């Protein structure tokens, strides 16, 4: 491991950019660390490499074992922790939604309303292919091979395990005001947004707002807001902006607040992410 990646003898995490534009890779081993409930803007595809990781997603608690695939849709809320004192080791790829859409369209597959029936997939062949792409992506001279293998392995997982869900009547009827609420969060993430603010935008009751938003997008508004703040924070950190300034500019109360939310979602502190991603 590179200097500065260890937090303890048991816990370590390395985040790095890949040769594929917008794709990040996390490799980690956690015993004590617990992921808080969070979501990501893009797709997350990971492989459990050792130990057992328990997480809650879509209202169900599931445990991932060695060789299992984990797939989280964009903005899908989840958490995670080790099942026992031995912890777990895994690799997780973070892929922009636009990249996945592009690959699916180029392959002739439908890119809208993609649905995995479970966030946990037991597929040794699929996880093996994904890890071959990871190994290639982390070798300086294998960028072309790594991107090709990644595209092939991702499309194979989608082809064999994903389905498509039509829009529900509820989603269709609520689309306009829900889109307005989501756009408001995207635009005003740096502010102290309240439920009343969102209810005013939507012109619906506060209770109906939270329930409908969670039902359609899979996360409550506050989790979506946290995701947007963290995405903005990563952009500023990548430009070398100091953490205290980043925290103030994206809406966190202070630097420690940024650190808690960042590590709770990505497994590394913003300082470690900045050192590892900016070479």
Of the three residues 164, 180, 200, the one that is the final residue of a domain is 164
User: Is there a domain that residue 186 lies in?
Assistant: yes
User: Is there a domain that residue 5 lies in?
Assistant: no
Q: Is the same domain home to 196 and 152?
A: no
Q: Is the same domain home to 108 and 201?
A: no
Cβ-in-10-Å burial (0-12, 13-18, 19+) of 210 comes to middle
- Give per-residue pLDDT as tens, 54-89: 999 988 899 999 999 999 999 888 999 998 888 999
Q: Is the same domain home to 51 and 159?
A: yes
Q: Is the same domain home to 123 and 138?
A: yes
Q: What domain count does the chain have?
A: 2
Phi first, then psi: give them for residue 44, nearest 5 degrees: -125, 120
Lowest mean pLDDT across 38-52, 123-137, 168-182:
168-182
Q: At what angle are helices 255-266 and 270-277 packed, to 10 degrees? A: 70
DSSP string, 165-212: -PPPHHHHHHHHHHHHHHHHHHHHTTS---HHHHHHHHTS-HHHHHHH
Quick check: helix, strand or coil at residue 50?
Answer: strand
User: Is there a domain that residue 102 lies in?
Assistant: yes
Q: Is the same domain home to 207 and 159?
A: no
Mean predicted confidence (pLDDT) in 102-109: 87
Question: What's 23's DSSP letter?
Answer: -
pTM value is 0.79
Of the three residues 134, 164, 194, the one that is the final residue of a domain is 164
Q: Is the pLDDT of residue 5 over 70?
A: no
Can you give the CATH number for the domain in which 174 is found? 1.10.10.60
Most confident of 111-120, 162-171, 219-228: 219-228
Q: Where are the alpha helices (DSSP H) in the chain?
A: 97-107, 124-137, 143-161, 169-188, 195-202, 206-217, 221-238, 243-250, 255-266, 270-277
CA 244 to chain centre: 24
Contacts of 20 (CB under 8 A, 6+ apart): 99, 137, 146, 147, 150
Of the three residues 132, 164, 196, the one that is the final residue of a domain is 164
User: Is there a domain that residue 210 lies in?
Assistant: yes
Domain holding 110, by residue range, is 12-164
Q: Is the same domain home to 61 and 106?
A: yes
Mean predicted confidence (pLDDT) in 42-52: 95
User: Is there a domain that residue 4 lies in?
Assistant: no
Q: Is the same domain home to 157 and 181?
A: no
Q: Is the same domain home to 16 and 126?
A: yes
Average pLDDT, the chain: 87
User: Is there a domain that residue 2 lies in?
Assistant: no
Mean predicted confidence (pLDDT) in 195-213: 85
User: Is there a domain that residue 129 lies in?
Assistant: yes
Q: Is the same domain home to 90 and 174?
A: no
CA-based nearest residue to 55, from 230, 267, 269: 267
Q: Is the same domain home to 101 and 27?
A: yes
- Give per-residue pLDDT as tens, 134-160: 999 998 888 889 999 999 999 999 999
Can you give the CATH number for the domain in which 99 is found? 2.60.120.280
Place of tokens 């689309």: 175
Question: What's 41's DSSP letter?
Answer: S
- Give per-residue pLDDT as tens, 151-188: 999 999 999 998 865 554 444 446 788 889 999 999 99
């Amino acid at each position: 491991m590179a200097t500065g990646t260890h937090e303890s003898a048991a816990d370590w995490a390395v985040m790095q950019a890949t040769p594929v534009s917008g794709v990040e890779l996390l490799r980690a081993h956690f015993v004590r660390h617990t992921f808080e409930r969070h979501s990501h803007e893009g797709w997350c595809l990971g492989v459990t490499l050792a130990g057992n990781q328990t997480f809650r997603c879509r209202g169900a608690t599931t445990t991932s074992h060695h060789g299992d695939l984990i797939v989280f849709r964009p903005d899908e809320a989840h958490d995670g922790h080790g099942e026992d004192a031995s912890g777990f080791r895994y690799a997780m790829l973070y892929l922009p939604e636009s990249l996945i859409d592009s690959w699916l369209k180029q392959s002739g597959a439908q890119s809208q309303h993609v649905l995995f029936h479970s966030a946990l997939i037991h597929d040794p062949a699929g996880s093996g292919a994904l890890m071959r792409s990871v190994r290639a992506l982390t070798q300086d001279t294998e960028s072309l091979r790594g991107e090709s293998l990644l595209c092939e392995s991702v499309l194979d997982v989608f082809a064999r395990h994903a389905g498509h869900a039509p829009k529900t009547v509820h989603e269709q009827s609520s689309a306009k005001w829900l889109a307005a609420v989501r756009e408001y969060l995207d635009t005003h993430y740096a502010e102290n947004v309240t439920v009343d603010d969102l209810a005013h935008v939507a012109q619906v009751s506060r209770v109906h707002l939270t329930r409908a938003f969670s039902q359609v997008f899979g996360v409550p508004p506050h989790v979506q807001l946290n995701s947007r703040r963290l995405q903005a924070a990563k952009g500023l950190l990548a430009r070398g902006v100091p953490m205290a300034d980043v925290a103030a500019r994206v809406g966190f109360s202070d630097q420690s607040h940024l650190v808690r939310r960042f590590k709770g979602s990505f497994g590394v502190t913003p300082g470690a992410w900045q050192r590892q991603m900016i070479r």
